[in-house]
Amino acid sequence: MKPSLPQGTRDFSHEVVYKRQYILQTIRQIFERYGFQPLETPAMENIDTLMGKYGEEGDKLIFKILNNGLDNPNKEQKTREALEEVFQGKWSKQLTERALRYDLTIPFARFVAMNHGSLVFPFKRYQIQPVWRADRPQRGRYREFYQCDCDVVGSSSLINEVELIHIYDQAFTSLQIPVSIQINNRKILAGLAEICGGQEQLTDITIAIDKLDKIGLEKVKEELTQRGLDQAQIEVIEQYLNIKGSNNEQLTQIEQLLSESKQAMLGVTELRYLLDFAKDSVKSVQLDFTLARGLNYYTGTIFEIKASTVKMGSIGGGGRYDDLTGLFGVKDVPGVGISFGIDRIYDVMEELNLFEGKLSQGTEVLFFNLGSYEIQGAYPVIQKLRQAGIRTELYHEPVKFDKQFKFAEKKGIPYIAIIGSEEITDNKITIKHLPSGWQEQMDSTNIDHIVQALHTQREDK
RNA sequence: GAGAGCAUAGCUCAGUUGGUUAGAGCGUCGGAUUGUGGUUCCGAAGGUCGUGGGUUCGAGACCCAUUGUUCUCCCCA
């Protein structure tokens, strides 16, 4: 058979894995520095846990796992009936009881709901795992991709938002990606909706204005009309969208425009607190009232990260949610969280050439294989180098030097080592640096000296 | 869910209005070269032209279907 991958999935070669690990390790370290602890949840969840949490579209994009034993003749009648239900648009547990996780937030909420009795609140967890979506793959979109989340639950304090802003800032500073951290508050959007026809318009309004930078003001107004808003309401929204200036200027303007809404004013107060707190330490925080974010469970602060110098969708996002675990019967567990879009961060860094010199490398030294007697002499040296932390490989069979050199060249191994019969008698080792041509015979018992030679910077020829 | 493009050697791609035996570069393998590679030179292997039908004296090329893949919209990370 011809081997192939399922649509929208990828193999990662060693170069890519090194780079991805570099990103993940950088972020993980920062999470831990702020007191977040890791959590892992299963790839699959009970289907009830996931269904209905991501909207109608989301349900369609969940990968469902077929039950085993459907071919059992004793259950044939039931199975056929269940299949009929599928044509009615319903998924029966008779056919599927499990599904692949669609994001990390709902499984986390499930975990908190199950364990809230034994957790210490506020509970701070980070989670880095793949998720699966039956979406149609396209540029920057896959059916299997990683999410990298950190959330605090059990605290309404805005200091959590402050911490998350600093995590974002440190992560992207550390990765050397220039970004703007865009920030808004759902209460302001809710206030806008309140003034323009009521809460039930909130979703319609947010979906439309979120598209501002993509489709422009005129198209947004068209969409608002289509969604049933009248002229006066659209006018207010237009004023809202036209707010510009520094963070402080924008806050002043929004206060005037939405002064009627208590909710909006609360949002302004929260934003002012955050911006004030961050204004000296984090330069890249940018107020953006058009930021809406799709997920409906957000209730307060919302974040989104955009790379400033690369054209790419958002590379991170998050926000506050007041009642996530309510879905699982546990009330009053407010939370706030952020997420890093690893796959897109990778693309941005690749484009900006930010990986150079930062990666854990492959093999540092290749021992030539000159025959079984010579290998036995060389092997103790190989093991000592490995104990000393040198990434060391031995060529797998005694073939002519030409081949062994070319192997080292192709794998990008900088040093080769030769221990032949002469060297064995004299306790010597010949080390050669391929890029420069530097070569020296040294004492094979003096491991420190060898390690030192391997760590010396050398100019290429 | 809606729409568009692409599919020829391991990879990147040529292939004329339909015309003999389908090509190139890179890579792979062997040799020049049995303890010092990279360059160079010589040689070789490698193809159901995605699959199935159709039109034609003749199809890699045209038509239909199908599968895969890429991209756009919707939505999202």
- Among all strands, which nt has the closest C1' to A370 (CA)? B35
For residue A97, list its beta bridge partners.
Answer: none
Report how far residue A229's alpha carbon sits from residue A448's, in angstroms, rounded to the nearest whole number: 76
Nucleotides of B under 7 A from a protein CB: 1-3, 28, 30, 33-38, 68-77
Q: Does residue A402 approach strand B to less than 7 Å at its CB?
A: yes
Q: Please give the nucleotide, over all strands, whose C1' is closest to the CA of residue A58.
A: B75
H or E element that contains A301: strand A301-307
Shortest CA–C1' contact from A402: which nucleotide?
Answer: B37
Q: Which residues of A are annotated as a binding site?
A: 103-105, 133, 147, 151, 293, 297-298
DSSP state of A104: S
Of A residues 136-195, those with CB within 7 angstroms of nucleic strand B are 136-143, 145, 147
pLDDT (0 to 100) of residue A234: 84
Helix axes A217-226, A231-241, angle to 10 degrees: 150
DSSP state of A328: G
pLDDT 10s digits, A184-243: 999 998 888 888 876 777 777 887 887 777 777 887 887 788 777 788 888 888 888 888
Which nucleotide is closest, CA of A5 to its C1'?
B68
Question: What domains are there in chain A, each with its CATH number?
Answer: 14-36+121-351 (3.30.930.10), 365-460 (3.40.50.800)
Full DSSP string of A364-410: SEEE----HHHHHHHHHHHHHHHHTT--EEE-SS---HHHHHHHHHH
Two structure tokens written together for A298? 């957000």
Answer whether any strand B atom is within 7 A of the Cβ of A337.
no
Cβ of residue A317 lies below 7 Å from strand B: yes
Which nucleotide has the least CA–C1' distance to A432?
B36
Give residues 37-56 of chain A lying near strand B (Cβ < 7 A): 55
Structure tokens at A295: 């997920």
C-beta of residue A108 within 8 angstroms of C-beta of residue A39? yes
Q: What is the CA A387 to C1' B36 distance in angstroms?
A: 28
**ipTM attached to this prediction:** 0.81
* Residue written as token pair 């010396």: A456
In angstroms, the Cα distances linking A372 to A144, A376, A392 are 46, 6, 18
Task: Supply A90's token pair.
Answer: 């319903």
What span, in angstroms and rounded, lies between the C-alpha atoms of A375 and A357?
A: 33
B36: residue with closest CA to C1': A401
A430 CB neighbours strand B below 7 A = yes
Using one digit for the tens of pLDDT, what is the confidence trace for A366-407?
999 988 889 999 999 999 999 999 999 999 888 888 888 888
Contact A264, A258 (CB under 8 A): yes
pTM over 0.95: no
Question: Nearest-CA neighbor of A347 among A10, A67, A75?
Answer: A10
Nearest to A181 by CA among A305, A307, A346, A59: A305
Residue A93 DSSP class: T
Phi, psi of A24 (to 5 degrees): -65, -40
Strand B lies under 7 A from the Cβ of residue A311? no
Q: Which nucleotide is nearest to A143 if distance is taken from CA to C1'?
A: B77
A373 Cβ contacts chain B strand, under 7 Å: no
Looking at A142-261, list the stretches that DSSP marks H as alpha helix, in order from N- to C-terminal side. 159-175, 186-195, 202-209, 212-215, 217-226, 231-241, 247-257
Residue ranges for chain A with pLDDT beneath 70: 1-2, 198, 294-295, 357-360, 461
A91 close to A47: Cβ distance less than 8 angstroms: yes
